[in-house]
Structure 1
Amino acid sequence: MTIASILGAIVIGAIVGALGRLVLPGRQPIGWFLTIAVGIVAALIGTAIAQSLGVATTDGIDWIELVMQIVLAAVGVGLVAGLRRSRSRV
């Protein structure tokens, strides 16, 4: 991995994580670093799922892949926020 690919993963993860967080209603009690981490993981898993489903790679934005990544980020942010809420109640 090069520095550019690592920085690209962080930027894409931040965007995907933020979009996933915006999809969820209400406040999520997680910080931005955790949102970025969830976004990076969601972007990687979403890309792997899109490739396994045979979603064609285009020259522009791969909308189907992006939607998969955002949905996975929303699920991930929801899970992490739920875990954080349950820990704070104990």
Structure 2
Amino acid sequence: MFSIIGWIFFGLLVGLIARSLVPGTQPMGCFRTIMLGVAGSFVGGAIGYLLQGGSAVQSSGWIGSIVGAILLLVISVRRSKFID
């Protein structure tokens, strides 16, 4: 139970940091911000796996999570501009 609450809190913080570092507006609510942070953690883990090995599906630390979330956010913003 507490690990789920921890992931939600971690995802929210990472998502908010990533959204503040990427310029422009990102029309997303609280739930999408949490999902951005959690998904960014796994993308950061995949980047870490590619760089130094280890488990293919793993979460990463703060910096890796923020880098992964920024990468996902930039892709999302570019994709939404391309579709519109």
Pair in the same fold by TM > 0.5: yes
Q: Give CA-to-partner distance per residue, 1:2-52, whole Å, 9 cap, x none.
A: x111111111011111111111012112222111101111123334654x4
| Selected match of 1:69 from 62, 65, 70 | 65
Aligned partner of 1:60 in structure 2 is none
Q: Structure 2: where are the runs of 5+ without partners?
A: 54-59
Superposed structure 1 runs of 4+ greater than 4 Å apart: 47-50
Task: For CA contacts below 8 A with separation 6 or more, give which structure has more relative contact order.
Answer: 1
Cα shift at 1:85: 3.8
Within a 5 Å distance, the mapping from 1:2-81 to structure 2 comes to: 3-47=1-45, 49-50=47-48, 52=49, 53=52, 65-81=61-77
CA contact (8 A) 2:15 2:36 kept: yes
- Bigger-Rg structure (1/2): 1
**TM-score scaled by length of structure 1:** 0.66
The alignment covers a number of residue pairs equal to 76
CA contact (8 A) 1:12 1:43 kept: no
Code of the residue aligned with 2:31 in structure 1: it is F
Instruction: Give RMSD over aligned pairs.
Output: 2.3
Q: Structure 1: where are the runs of 5+ without partners?
A: 55-63
